[in-house]
Chain A
Amino acid sequence: MDLSSAQKIVIIGGGQAGAQASFSLRQGGYEGAITMVCDEHAPPYQRPPLSKAFLKGELPEERLYFKPAAWYEDNGVELMLGMRATKIDRATRQVHLSHGGVLEYDALILATGSRPRPLPIEGASLAGVHELRSLEDVERLAPQTIAGRRIVIVGAGYIGLEAAAVASQLGLDVTVLEMAPRVLARVTSPVMAEFYEAEHARHGVKIRCGAGLSALKGEDGKVTAAVLNTGEELPADLVLVGIGILPNQELAAEAGVACENGILVDRDARTNDPRIFAAGDCACRPLVHFGRTGRLESVHNAIEQGKLAAAAILGKPRPAEDTPWFWSDQYDVKLQIAGIGTGYDQLVVRGDPEARKFAVFYLKGGVLIAADAVNSAPEFMVAKKLIASAAVVAPERLSDTSISMKEIAAEAV
């Protein structure tokens, strides 16, 4: 469907994907109305620093904002902050709002994001139990992260581990509980898990893998301990839950937009309704480098799909679909991840994890599908390009640090 004459574009969600879509629409020359419905109260902001520098108190709130609030006014983007969309009526092309109002659209972008998976145990709603997803979450958590306090972090994914690094640097007594036998089990290999377990241990963080949490205990409505299924009790002044996120797809699903592990979209970020697009954490998209669909929870994905949706609406050529990439900062360790390692059949380590500068490459049928680069930018940058071209790389070359990444890039086929 040609939407290039659209005059009313509504974006639901003011996270990275929604904000990017508004920027790309304006950059692309679109002059009609843009209304962004944001359920948070701050103008669109970056989330990655929330579990890093911002939690640590090293970054003022304004520096999280993509643009100053005045930019939206100057560029005719109406920000409806503190507002929720309650219903999409596809027949009349209207979005119903929590204050009772209605917005009409020619094109609609769903950038509804995701929400933390709730902890399904007793005591989860006690005071002192936190999540880490939004600015408001950090505003609640940060004043409580006081040196000497005991924090139990539930979940050893990137959010949990980044928060553990910050909390230990702030002088808290940190314990991380993980159900799986190792940290980062869902997202990376045992080599990386072992490296991060050692890194956290070095900083005094206690990581307990294979730990089943059975309840949180409290007094006077406030959390006091985490109770393991062995009966062991870990005293806690604070609990942070980071056990994954769920896509906010309900609004779309209730309107009959196809969903399955997210809102289903094509390569243009278009849903089964040609006037409706979805971008970011909430969308399940074709992963062109991997021959399947999937939902990615990353900045790169949010930006890329924001751009894809804007381009499709404006009738412009589809922007390049880059290798998915991610990063994580813990202590002074920068991890850069290119690609998706799921389903790898061969793992190659380049460099020495003990030196805290190494990379792990993941291959499938000889083709490079992912790389985890620890303090190793060249490995990351080259892997990103090689994955995009589905390059076949000889494992013995990858592991040989006497061969530079430039040479490896040049000889890859």
Chain B
Amino acid sequence: MVKIIYRDFEGTVREVEAKVGETVMETAIKNGIPGIDADCGGACACATCHVYVDPSFMEKVGTPEDMEQSMLDFAENVTENSRLSCQIPVSEDLEGLTVTTPEAQH
């Protein structure tokens, strides 16, 4: 299990144990983390699982592929730390990963 920390837009922090191989989105949904909708269930089709990756983890998390990047280009309040959490698989490397959820997913 890998520890993932979700911070919501108001600053409330929730720490959960994630399974290696599941995604940061799935971990959030299964643990009832507010602020992630993930309407399409992880198909990279909807951009409703947008998160901001903590700058210290940007390198480990890596960069989005083309499809994800184009979805992000049209999501709202995107920054250079934006990722779709359905496209981030949990790995041992991500122990302690902190992501912040936006106020709304549209």
Contact = CB atoms under 8 A, between A and B. Distances in A.
Interface of A: 27, 46, 48-49, 63, 65-68, 71, 75, 299-300, 303, 320, 322, 325, 327, 329, 334, 336, 375-378, 381-382, 405-406
Nearest to A67: B30
A68 B67 contact: no
Contacts of A336: 45
6 contacts: A66-B29, A67-B30, A75-B32, A303-B39, A377-B74, A381-B73
Contacts of A67: 29-30, 32
A381 B43 contact: no
Interface in B21-66: 22, 26, 29-30, 32, 34, 37, 39-41, 43-47
B32 A327 contact: no
A48 B40 contact: yes
B71 interface: yes
A300 B44 contact: no
A382 B41 contact: no
A149 B33 CA distance: 44
* Interface majority SS (helix, strand, loop, mixed), chain B: loop
Contacts of B43: 48, 327, 329, 334
Given A48-B43, A378-B73, 7 more contacts: A48-B40, A49-B41, A71-B30, A299-B39, A300-B46, A303-B37, A320-B106
Contact of A334 (B34, B45, B74): B45
A27 B34 contact: yes
Interface residues of B, number: 22
Interface of B: 22, 26, 29-30, 32, 34, 37, 39-41, 43-47, 67, 70-71, 73-75, 106
Given A63-B22, A299-B41, A300-B39, A377 B34 contact: no
A46 B41 contact: yes
Nearest to B34: A27
A377 B46 CA distance: 9
A351 to B, nearest CB: 13
B21 to A, nearest CB: 9
A65 B42 CA distance: 12
Contacts of B30: 65, 67-68, 71
A71 B70 contact: no
A336 B75 CA distance: 15
A404 to B, nearest CB: 10
A377 B22 contact: no
Nearest to A326: B45
Given A67-B30, A71-B32, A303-B39, A378 B44 contact: no
